[in-house]
Amino acid sequence: MTAHIAAIATALPRAIEQSTLWDEHFRPLLGGSRAAERIFAAVGVRRRHAVVSPLDLDLSECTTGERMRLYNEYARPLGHEAVSAALASADLDPADIGQLTVVSCTGYTAPGLDVQLASSLDLADDAQRLMVGHMGCYAALPALAAVTDYVTAHHRPAVLLCVELTSLHVQPSTADMGQIVSHALFGDAATAVVLRPQESGLEVVATGAVTDPATADHMTWTVTDHGFRMTLSPHVPEVLGKHVKRAVERLLDDHGLTVPDVRGWAVHPGGPRILDTVEHELGLAPEALDPSRHVLREHGNCSSATVLMVLDELLRARAPKPGDPVVAMAFGPGLTLYITLLRAR
């Protein structure tokens, strides 16, 4: 018995056009900086979604406590919507679910979001719960591996939910280019995946990882008195470029596959340069990463939810044939690279 993805669903708050964010909010704060304007235009984002738009409320000076209160207000309804849609698509009831795993690096409370959702969804009282926090953009893939283990061992369906409300952590605007990139790139989303112990759908085959602790300071997500602050080095793409080919080839080789055998790529769009690096290092065709670029363009980088959104876009655009291998890949603090091999059944 193996675990298969039966459904994926995403819930999104209100959309905001990138050009409007720049013209009406960030341009005045940054004194019309031409360098900042180029960054906003170059990150590959056309629109993003936010539970709290800076056009309505500037959170940049709010305390972390105030931001957590907003997280508690918005995270549960958005997560509930995503899980409900995924369960409906999989033709399952909440009572069928044996485990709920919730991933988030943008908010905390206790009882946690997993408990809140167990109540609002009316899960069975014996349903197990798991919270995965503060791992960052790659967290969906190790969480997917954990959920796969549960489904395989217990022969019961399970749900993975990634909820990220990055809009709650907007920082005071400065001339720091890394901070400007963060302000230009991130959006909010909740994405749910239903896994079932069945012999059809997209089988989760194996997961691999690489961490380069020597470059840990290249990407950080630090809790401060004014929300969570990201630092992002421009050297991230070149560091990933040193590891991605070897890591992918190692995982594929374990299953008798090579890069040309892969029929679909769901790569976390951490930014255009990261996608260009993956494409170059793996020798992929230009259209191979179209699903990643589409999600980046229409939603921005939604942290852990993003790779699942890309996988959903890939499955909608290019439904794999039985036997086709698919690779999902995401990156984050560490620097860490996670890779998951899937296969259509």
- Whether the pLDDT of residue 340 is over 80: the answer is yes
Q: Is 300 exposed, middle or buried (0-12, 13-18, 19+ CB in 10 A)?
A: buried
Q: What is the pLDDT of residue 199?
A: 75
Q: Which fold has domain 202-344?
A: Peroxisomal Thiolase; Chain A, domain 1 (3.40.47)
**pLDDT tens across 123-180, in order?**
999 999 999 999 999 999 999 999 999 999 999 999 999 999 999 999 988 888 888 9
Q: What is the mean pLDDT of residues 30-59?
A: 95
- What CATH number labels 4-196? 3.40.47.10
pLDDT confidence bin for 53, thresholds 50/70/90? very high
Mean pLDDT of 207-225: 92
Q: Given the residues 62, 105, 137, 302, select the one marked as catalytic.
A: 137
Phi, psi of 73 (to 5 degrees): -75, -40
Region 314-332 average pLDDT? 94
Structure confidence at residue 233 as a pLDDT band (50, 70, 90)? confident
Do the domains 4-196 and 202-344 sit in the same CATH topology, yes or no? yes
Report how far apart, in Å, the C-alpha atoms of 278 and of each of 24, 222, 240 are.
Answer: 34, 27, 8
137 annotated active-site: yes
Domain ranges for the chain: 4-196, 202-344
When comparing pLDDT for 252 and 175, which is higher? 252
267/270 Cα distance (integer angstroms): 9
Calculate mean pLDDT across residues 89-102: 97
pLDDT digits (tens, 9 = 90+) for 263-283: 999 999 999 999 999 999 999
Query: Given a cut of 80, is residue 1 above it in pLDDT?
Result: no
